[in-house]
Amino acid sequence: MLRTRVITAFVLLAAFLLALFQLPPLGWLLFVSAVAAVAAWEWGALMGLVGAPRFVLGFVLLAICLLVVVLEPAAVGLTSGFADAAWRLGACFYLPAALFWLLLAPIWLSRRWPLGGKLPALATGAVLLLPLWLALVQLRQAGPLTVLAIMALVWLADIGAYFAGRRFGRHKLAPAISPGKTWEGAIGGGLLAVAYGMLVSPRLPPMLADNLPLLLLVVLLLAAISVIGDLFESLLKRQAGLKDSSNVLPGHGGVLDRIDSLASTMPLVALVWLLTRA
């Protein structure tokens, strides 16, 4: 099992880095759209769908992504005029995502609401997946290294939480949702994220690089939101009676299992990025 997990991790990382650094804008867009479609197919399982309806859900999300590209090519960097078009489209996607993750998701977790009927479940899936898709597409306009640096913050927070939890974990963070997570782990992840933020601060916009309290606040907020994203998917899987969102990634479960923390953080980063460009 460990060998399978390691091999899959290397293959995934290699494919991601090749796509991020080597594909042209249209190629990257199609790559991210395909990943989002697989995630939508997995979301269907959390909704209780089986068979053809799950595939339809994946194709519908892919069609929405491609329709956005056709209607707003400048907003995804395929034509000139990115700045104005990006904010116009980003506001429609990122503001609902920010409201969901900052306000609704913590309440959802505390009350452990079920996903609900088909319409609310579809709306929730759209708020999770479409802003993440757009964020990955738009943030690449700032450069592949920027995308990688942002994702590294989330990954390091997760790594820090894992090792701090194993070493010091005593107090459960959300035992009814994810018994393995502890407050000590969350604090350890936050501290590692802060250390990383300080390390890369010279390459950040002056608004953050020159304002240490604001930098610490932003990094800690992103680390906390990444935990909320992880817990949110764990809650839905537990309610659906699933261990993983799928088995398309041997040893790692599904795509949703790998992007849950990114789904909650990347749209917020993209929103801040667009605001600083305005």
pLDDT in tens, 236-251: 999 999 888 888 887 7
Of residues 7 and 173, more confidence is placed in: 173
DSSP 8-state assignment for residue 249: B
Q: How would you classify the pairing of strands 178-182 and 172-174? A: antiparallel
**What is the Cα Rg of the chain in Å?**
18
Residue 175 has phi, psi (to 5 degrees) of -60, -30
Q: Quick check: 278 pLDDT over 70? A: no
Q: How many domains does the chain have?
A: 1
**Owning domain of residue 10:** 2-277
Query: How far is Cα 278 from Cα 269, in angstroms, rounded to an integer?
Result: 14
Q: Which token pair is 182?
A: 């502890």
N- to C-terminal Cα separation, the chain: 48
d(CA 29, CA 47): 27
Q: Are 45 and 241 in contact (CB under 8 A)?
A: no
pLDDT band of residue 1 (cuts 50, 70, 90) is low
Average pLDDT over residues 106-111: 95
pLDDT of residue 70: 95
**Band of pLDDT at residue 262, cut at 50, 70 and 90:** very high
Confidence of residue 81 (pLDDT cuts 50, 70, 90): confident
pLDDT band for position 2 (cuts 50, 70, 90): low
pLDDT score, position 251 = 75
